[in-house]
Amino acid sequence: MPRTWRDPRCPDCRERPQATYTGSGWKFLCACGKEFSNPEAGIEATGVEAECLASKGFRLAHSDNKDTYYEGTEHRLIWLWADGTFYVDDPFSGDNGSKGTLEEYLDRIPGRVA
Ligand SMILES: [Zn+2]
């Protein structure tokens, strides 16, 4: 099944909730202070998907707030979500809410220069 784009941002302030360490443990908090009960951290790609990402220069990265994402060329960042969707933080991909599938997105990126 194709991996489609999904916006993980807060409906109130359009910021992405971040895993934040509080006195009582890790919570997903938004910049506006809203707490998200359904924490979202990226997952690692496997198989063909991992190969496609690597062929476009994306490398697996972990942040110290327990998030997992892919770092590409020209500051491209991709998150894969456990529900089969993805998010790309790419200023060149437009913002009309319809960004297609991960495959289509990767097709638009030039391959790694040898
Ligand atoms: Zn918010």
Average pLDDT score over residue span 14-34 = 82
Within 8 A by CB and 6+ apart from 51, the residues are: none
Using the predicted structure, report yes or no on whether residue 64 has a pLDDT greater than 50: yes
Backbone angles phi and psi of 27, in degrees to 5? -135, 155
In this structure, is residue 17 part of a structural domain? yes
Q: Provide the pLDDT for residue 87.
A: 86
Query: What is the pairing mode between strands 18-22 and 25-29?
Result: antiparallel
Backbone angles phi, psi at 52, to 5 degrees: -60, -45
Q: What total of structural domains would you count in the chain? A: 2
Query: What's the 28 CA to ligand 1 centre distance in angstroms?
Result: 11
CA–centroid distance, residue 94 to ligand 1 (Å): 21
Which pTM does this prediction carry?
A: 0.71
Host domain of residue 73: 41-114
Cβ-based neighbour number of residue 88 at 10 Å: 19
Q: How much distance in Å is there from the Cα of 38 to the middle of ligand 1?
A: 14
- Are both 105 and 57 inside the same structural domain? yes
The pLDDT of residue 17:
80
51 and 92 belong to one structural domain: yes
92 and 66 within one domain: yes
Q: Is residue 85 part of a domain?
A: yes
Is 5 within 8 Å of 87 (Cβ atoms)? Answer: yes
